[in-house]
Amino acid sequence: MAEPNQYTEENIRSLDWKEHIRMRPGMYIGKLGDGSSPDDGIYILLKEVVDNCIDEFVMGAGKTIEISIKDNIVSVRDYGRGIPLGKLVDVVSKMNTGGKYDSRAFKKSVGLNGVGTKAVNALSSKFKVVSVRENETTNAIFEYGNLIQQDPVTSSSKRRGTQVVFEPDTSIFKNYRYRLEYVERMLKNYVYLNRGLTIDLNGLKFFSENGLKDLLEDQTNASDLLYPIIHLKGEDIEVAITHSRSQYSEEYHSFVNGQNTTQGGTHQAAFREALVKTIRDHYGKNFDASDIRKSIISAISIKVMEPVFESQTKTKLGSTEMGEKMPSVRAYINDFLGTQLDNFLHKHTETAEAIRSKILQAEKERKELSGIRKLAKERAKKASLHNKKLRDCRVHLGDLKKDRRLESTIFITEGDSASGSITKSRDVNTQAVFSLRGKPLNTFGMTKKIVYENEEFNLLQAALNIEESMEDLRYNNIVIATDADVDGMHIRLLLITFFLQFFPELIKEGHLYILQTPLFRVRDKKQTFYCYSEQEKKESIEKLTGKPEITRFKGLGEISPDEFKFFIGEDIRLDPIMLDKSTTTDDLLQFYMGKNTQERQKFIIDNLKVELDVANEMV
């Protein structure tokens, strides 16, 4: 009989700060990723460094932050007070060391535990920090968290402040690249929340005069707004509210001490509750909460003393109190909206009437759909019981911690063979599969009634859990996985149309992707390469030492589960679906999905060469 595993003193290890961070990076920066998602680790690294610059600005030190990103090397320079020179190395490499433990210096700081910059250092192949204070400067250089060089303090004529330069470690962040669209969105949020701050990214400057009002204007097209944005400000709170003409569900942008809480939290829940109460009190009617919040687009920012977040990445607020000797978050927000929003609506009767009309229209539509919704929910429940469409992952089966939701992915695919291959090769912990039957319906121009009447869309909506609110979204990444042929492209377009028509905020918030799968397999007896383009195929053939065997994958079903696991694992390639705010969703769908127009025909002809190049790759 085999001896049981021995548990002795030799099994006990003490890790130093950098070893622990590198061994358990998810504890410090969430998921890793390759940069295709806005919450991937490489953006958290940047955010951790910028957060320190923001705290300097909030304390009245430095109005400009300069950032450059080139060849995946990131440089962040502020003009704050500079890190005390004698503590420079400790601040970026010694846990539980930093100035934010002194609440007198950082009363409402973004980060309070002194971990952020250490995580950046430990997870970077190269890390350099420079500080300039009182006409003196010093710097330190690290590799993988190890101190390589520390220069002595010397005199300097440069402006005071701190510069951090780092390059994420490719052994941890594999095949990564920074998507500047995501970086720009992050930096815009910083300037919206810090009026007077200028951030320079590769020469492009960001600045805001109107705070959250600018945020909503930047997120939406003016023609889609039902009424001018309501903008309210208090000592520790700022709110912006409007309603969309075309959007169905709710959209919230929430912040705490400058941190974008993408998963909401106590402040966002309190805002939704306070909004309903204020509207009911103002109109003297007990409107249904869903009718009041339908189509709302809003933003809320609050400042809290020593906030408590539910993870190191600070995406969800857990605090219930504003601070010592202050009201609760819920009471504070309720009192603010109950007074300020009510006063605004009394003064701006046209806006008040527009909101009342919107609520009544929502009420009418809800009642018309009530019977259909009930039947649709019953169908979805039965389908779930029989597990016909959805192969769920353990994150949602109660076997794993809820904080792994950020890693959860659902693949939407078509056909039994394709869904079968993904199902057999997926990570059952975090990856789910939803199988379509045939081509979905073109929903352009249809009302939300079709979402409940059409079995495919009803079950998809139920699987994603997005009928009531995006807060309940079950999967962080929604990935369309279809064949790389004309039919597959058409299915992609129909699914994107569905999400644009009824759930555009899923796209706005960076949840929707296209799965890239290889077009070719190139191999000989010793090596195998999977190629995503003709160019990659040519390069792979040149690397082979033997006679090449080339396979063209015409569909996902042709890729065996043993091979598929390489394409949906840590080397997964995802293309995010992004929206350009210069074009409204209605205009976009009208152009691509409406009746044939001369404009679309001209577009096809003008882009014919590109289309032919793609077609040649697929032959």
Q: Above pLDDT 90, what percent of the chain?
A: 41
Q: Give the whole-angstrom CA distance, residue 293 versus residue 47.
A: 31
Residue 605 reports pLDDT greater than 80 = no
> Hey, how many other C-beta atoms are within 10 angstroms of the C-beta on 470?
19
Domains and CATH numbers, the chain: 17-206 (3.30.565.10), 212-365 (3.30.230.10), 368-617 (3.40.50.670)
What single DSSP character describes residue 254? E
| DSSP one-letter string for 206-227 | E--SSTHHHHHHHHS-GGGBSS
- Is residue 574 within 8 A of residue 477, CB to CB? The reply is yes
Report d(CA 477, CA 393) in Å as an integer: 13
pLDDT at 12: 46
388: confidence class by pLDDT, cuts 50, 70, 90: low
Express as a percent the part of the chain with pLDDT over 70.
84
Higher pLDDT: 398 or 296? It is 296
Nearest to 502 by CA among 580, 449, 577: 449
**Placement of tokens 């909506």 in the chain:** 461
Taking alpha carbons only, the member of 89, 85, 77, 84 closest to residue 99 is 84
pLDDT band at 275 (very low <50, low <70, confident <90, very high): very high
DSSP 573-597: EEEE----TTS-HHHHHHHHHSS--
**Separation between Cα atoms, residue 369 and residue 146, nearest integer Å:** 62
Residue with tokens 């009342």: 356
Q: How many residues does the chain have?
A: 619
484 vs 300, more confident: 300
Strands (E), 347-445: 390-391, 409-414, 431-436
- Residue that is written with structure tokens 């669209």 in the block: 181
Residue 581 has what pLDDT?
63
Give the pLDDT score at 344: 96
Half-sphere exposure for 469 (CA within 13 Å, toward CB): 15
- pLDDT, residue 97, reads 53
pLDDT of residue 59: 86
Distance CA 598, CA 233 (A): 48
**Average pLDDT, stretch 268-293?**
94
Kindly tell me the sign of the dihedral angle through the C-alpha atoms of 383, 388, 393, 397.
Answer: positive
CA angle 41, 45, 49 (to 5 degrees): 160
C-alpha distances (whole Å) from 105 to each of 77, 81, 97 are 21, 12, 14
Q: Per residue in 55-98, pLDDT tens?
A: 899 888 899 999 999 999 999 999 999 999 999 999 898 875 55
- Coil, strand or helix: which one is 28? helix
* Distance, CA of 21 to CA of 120 (rounded, Å): 9
pLDDT at residue 190 tops 50: yes
Least confident of 245-249, 250-254, 583-587: 583-587
Q: What does the pLDDT read at residue 29?
A: 82
Q: Is the pLDDT of residue 508 over 50?
A: yes
Query: Of residues 243 and 451, which shows the higher confidence score?
Result: 243
Of the candidates 9, 51, 28, 485, the one whose C-alpha atom is nearest the C-alpha of residue 260 is 51
Taking 90 as the threshold, does the pLDDT of residue 411 lie above it? Answer: yes
Q: Is the pLDDT higher at 102 or at 141?
A: 141
Looking at the predicted structure, is the pLDDT value of residue 166 above 90? yes
- Other C-beta atoms lying within 10 Å of the C-beta of residue 207: 17
Q: Which two tokens stand for residue 440?
A: 């979905």
pTM: 0.82
pLDDT at 395 over 90: no
- The residue among 416, 462, 409 whose CA lies nearest residue 435 is 416
The gap from C-alpha 54 to its chain's centroid, in whole angstroms, comes to 21
pLDDT(259) > 60: yes
Measured between alpha carbons, how far is residue 10 from residues 7, 13, 15, 20, 313 in Å? 8, 8, 14, 18, 34
Higher pLDDT, 459 or 594: 459
State the amino acid at position 211 in one-letter form: G
Please indicate whether residue 617 or residue 590 has the higher confidence score (pLDDT).
590
